[in-house]
Amino acid sequence: MAEEIKVIVFGLAHEEYGIEVEKVRTIERMMPITRVPKTPSFIKGVINLRGVVLPVIDLRGRFSLAESEETESSRIIIVAVNDLEVGFIVDSANDVIDIDPDFIDSPPEVVGGIKAKYLRGVAKIGDSRLLIMLNLSEVLNKSEIIQLEQQEV
């Protein structure tokens, strides 16, 4: 049996997603976001988190899902990918669980309207729960990372 991986579970458009704990820096409540001109619509802007300016991406917009209003449970998950820290706006951050990598299947072409390239796989938890595992390096693809890094003036 492979070593279990710890995963942060978050909600987005009535689906559950997972990001490995080691890629998550913090989970923050919603805070004021400053818009940045000439960025894709899913890049909501930047936040000042304890003196560090970080870009913020709306994952609903990134995956072409319907936008929703911010709620009391909305969160910004700060992740680190390839030396870049970015905030993801999600509907809720629910849980930390352990997943056996043997129970992660390859992603189908589309899950919940999201293309397979953004997904690492789908984890089966128990008998009925599925967790969509994100492929963070694709969610933040290289050209967008370059664009984000150039905004950090």
Digit-coded pLDDT (tens) for 30-46: 999 999 888 888 889 99
**Going by C-beta distance under 8 Å and a sequence separation of 6 or more, which residues neighbour residue 142?**
none
Q: What pLDDT was estimated at residue 151?
A: 56
Q: What is the 3-state secondary structure (H, E, C) of 85-125?
A: EEEEEECEEEEEEEECHHHEECCCCEECCEEHHHEEEEEEE
Q: What pLDDT was estimated at residue 153?
A: 42
Superfamily the domain 5-151 falls into? CheA-289, Domain 4 (2.40.50.180)
What average pLDDT score do residues 115-138 get? Answer: 84
Least confident of 48-57, 78-87, 140-149: 140-149
Q: What pLDDT was estimated at residue 16?
A: 92
Q: Where are the domains of the chain?
A: 5-151
Contact (CB, 8 A) for 76 and 10: no
pTM for this one?
Answer: 0.86
